[in-house]
Amino acid sequence: MKNWNWEEIPCLAVNGSRKNSIDFLESLYEKLITEFSSEQMKISIISSYADFAVDKKYLYDEAVINQDTVADLLIKLNQEISCRYQTFSSAGVKNIKEYNADKIKMPYIFVFIDDLMKLSESIDKINLIKSRAAGIYTVGCTENYSELPMTLRGYFQVKSI
């Protein structure tokens, strides 16, 4: 986590064992909830191990623990991106940082994915290019980053743990 500046790196892929990945997400969750209030930041979790998210006021939506509801969450996140861009346009700003500088604060959203490989086809459906300006950051874990599709690897900076 020391080398990850979430404002500069909107998509982070964590390469490591499943246990290390869950531990990383848990420690990142703890760090974020101590750094931000629940009005400043929300977290969306796609994981069958979402037990670490004990403070529900920080959740953007219920934790997604099965594949059947992943598409619903991704659609919701894309709608959120579109709504935010419309809000920014109306306010005459280009991104969340400018918007939050002098307006009612809009929360950042962190999307935690414990198995990026399982979702490699689905995650393409979220507009990762626009997500950074909209204040939506993705942290995905994988046991083998090199096996992710090239189109997806282009969006993520990799960190091995």
How confident is the prediction for the chain on average, in pLDDT? 82
Query: What amino acid occupies position 61?
Result: D
For residue 154, how many C-alpha atoms fall within 13 Å in the half-sphere facing its CB? 6
Tell me the residue length of the chain: 161
**Most confident stretch, 39-48, 70-79, 81-90, 146-155:** 81-90
Least confident of 12-26, 49-63, 68-82, 105-119: 49-63
Q: With left for phi above 0 and alpha for psi between -120 and 50, is residue 55 left, alpha or beta?
A: beta
User: What mean pLDDT is predicted for residues 141-161?
Assistant: 80
Query: What amino acid occupies position 68?
Result: D
User: What mean pLDDT is predicted for residues 79-104?
Assistant: 90
pLDDT for 64 beyond 60: yes
